[in-house]
Amino acid sequence: MTAIKTDLLSSANAKRQQDLQTDYDSLGERLDRRGISIDTIKAKVSAYGVAVPSWGVGTGGTRFARFPGEGEPRDIFDKLDDCGVIHQLTGATPSVSLHIPWDNADANDLLTKANEHGITFDAMNSNTFQNQIDTKHSYKYGSLSHTEVAVREQAIAHNIDCIELGAKLGSKALTIWVGDGSNFPGQTNFTQQFQRYLDSVKSIYTALPDDWRLFTEHKMFEPAFYSSVVQDWGTNYLIAKEMGPKAYCLVDLGHHAPNVNIEMIVARLIQFGKLGGFHFNDSKYGDDDLDTASIDPYRLFLVFNELVDAELQQLSHFNPAHMLDQSHNVTDPIESLMSSAMEVQRAYAQALIVDRAALAEYQQNNDALLASQTLKQAFRTDVDAILAMARLDKNCAIDPIATYRESGYRQIVAKERPAVAAGSSGIV
């Protein structure tokens, strides 16, 4: 199934193609002077993909309220349709990450729908941070680290269910989501709580197929506000280390205190073979779940600078999973996700054109100013034409957001999908 009509896409591209060619040739000439082949960069960008979270295509919200948009997806099949549009127009999001039980459905039905859109399934995400209709025990006081064994066993069993469904879908990773922590000093014994968590994760790890990876994600706060059981990258690294070679750390850009040097955390995890991947988003104050690169595109570029450096070294165990994880409270989620996927590609392209030989020499000679300027030169380069040409080559949209608006997709699905009540908050 093609969600956006191909003749509409072709005519939208035809209007923009001549200008794009001029911009691409001009950038190619400038990069050539720096010894960089624009076509090589384009090929790498073209092969790059970032996974879309199924929950991202619904409107998010805060603890205050959620304001659903028109044509909200009603179930996982609507969500996969929306994900299909994002990939059709950007060519940058070949896979979708499911969250269970929100997205529970028959594996064959899920595969059929994904195949219609030419997309695959990325990491499976478990949910033991809220009670579900069929959960016997409550997660109010935690899940994998709960004081009661029955709650822990229920949470472990849920994670194993996620692996079993994922195995049928071709997924190769499980990301464990927990809300465990505490809200008051003294509420929990830090050591015992973490030990219970480790023991539970070990049970999940043991059930993991040999060709799967286990991802854990650190988060400084929320939903627990005094302490989180996996509060920082140090604890996250300890988990991966304790579990074994299939366990890796995820870095969610929003899960750090303001001003934390995230690119350095990334470098440390790469150095010790434990970088599992990313949840891309941005933040201004805390875990705001803002659109990727909407606040600090330079930080995203600096993260990719570390990734490209590792890619060039061809390190073993370096195969990070890339996913968007953000909350769209005031925008059309499809537009935000397309824009964010392109921002991630932009940071990658900019990092690819860093003059690494020059950088290494400036570092060796302690030339701080020119080392910094070398990164800035790449960051300041407008690589739009590279991304757009990579899209055009794949029959995607030169301008995905304009084409999406011209298609009227949102208005069409708004008629097919009746509005849902704005009851629940949209924490993601």
Minimum distance from CB of 238 to Mn ion (Å)? Answer: 19
The residue number whose beta carbon is nearest to Mn ion equals 279
Which residues are CB-contacts of 197 (< 8 A; sequence separation ≥ 6)?
144, 145, 178, 180, 229, 230, 239
The yes or no reply on residue 252 touching Mn ion (CB under 5 A) is yes
Size of residue set near Mn ion by CB under 5 A: 3
Per CB under 5 A, contacts with Mn ion among 257-286 are 279
Minimum distance from CB of 237 to Mn ion (Å)? Answer: 17
The yes or no reply on residue 289 touching Mn ion (CB under 5 A) is no
Pairing of strands 181-182, 227-228: antiparallel
- Residue number, 279 or 322, with CB nearest to Mn ion: 279
Buried (b) or exposed (e) across 389-402, using 16+ Cβ within 10 A?
bbbbeeebbbbbbe
Q: Which of 263, 306, 325, 399 binds Mn ion (CB under 5 A)?
A: 325
Q: Pick the stretch among 41-49, 73-81, 246-254, 387-395 that binds Mn ion (CB under 5 A).
A: 246-254
- Residue number, 256 or 274, with CB nearest to Mn ion: 256
Q: Is 159 exposed, middle or buried (0-12, 13-18, 19+ CB in 10 A)?
A: buried
Q: Pick the stretch among 247-255, 263-271, 357-365, 383-391 that binds Mn ion (CB under 5 A).
A: 247-255
- Residue number, 103 or 252, with CB nearest to Mn ion: 252
- Residue number, 188 or 326, with CB nearest to Mn ion: 326
- Residue number, 9 or 324, with CB nearest to Mn ion: 324
Minimum distance from CB of 127 to Mn ion (Å)? Answer: 12
- Residue number, 163 or 321, with CB nearest to Mn ion: 321
| Packing angle of the helix pair 333-352, 76-90 (nearest 10 deg) | 40
| Phi-psi region at 259: left, alpha or beta (left = phi > 0; alpha = psi -120 to 50) | left
Q: Pick the stretch among 259-267, 324-332, 345-353, 394-402 that binds Mn ion (CB under 5 A).
A: 324-332
181 membership: H or E segment, kind and range: strand 181-182
Minimum distance from CB of 62 to Mn ion (Å)? Answer: 16
Q: How many helices (H) and strands (E) does the chain have?
A: 15, 10
Minimum distance from CB of 217 to Mn ion (Å)? Answer: 5
> Is the CB of residue 223 less than 8 Å from the CB of residue 127?
no
- Residue number, 222 or 361, with CB nearest to Mn ion: 222
Minimum distance from CB of 173 to Mn ion (Å)? Answer: 14
- Residue number, 252 or 282, with CB nearest to Mn ion: 252
CA-based nearest residue to 322, from 108, 102, 62, 53: 53
The yes or no reply on residue 391 touching Mn ion (CB under 5 A) is no
Minimum distance from CB of 125 to Mn ion (Å)? Answer: 9
- Residue number, 78 or 252, with CB nearest to Mn ion: 252
Which pairs with CB-CB distance under 8 Å and at least 24 residues apart come from 373-380? 375/301, 375/302, 375/305, 378/301, 378/350, 378/351, 378/353, 378/354, 379/297, 379/298, 379/301, 379/350
Which residues are CB-contacts of 402 (< 8 A; sequence separation ≥ 6)?
12
Structure tokens belonging to residue 392 = 């055009």
Minimum distance from CB of 428 to Mn ion (Å)? Answer: 8
Minimum distance from CB of 276 to Mn ion (Å)? Answer: 12
339 membership: H or E segment, kind and range: helix 333-352
Q: Pick the stretch among 140-148, 198-206, 251-259, 390-398 that binds Mn ion (CB under 5 A).
A: 251-259
Minimum distance from CB of 29 to Mn ion (Å)? Answer: 41
Q: How far is CA 318 from CA 72, 139, 149, 270, 321, in A?
A: 37, 34, 36, 7, 10
Q: How far is CA 64 from CA 60, 61, 131, 230, in A?
A: 11, 8, 20, 26
Contacts with Mn ion by CB under 5 A lie at: 252, 279, 325
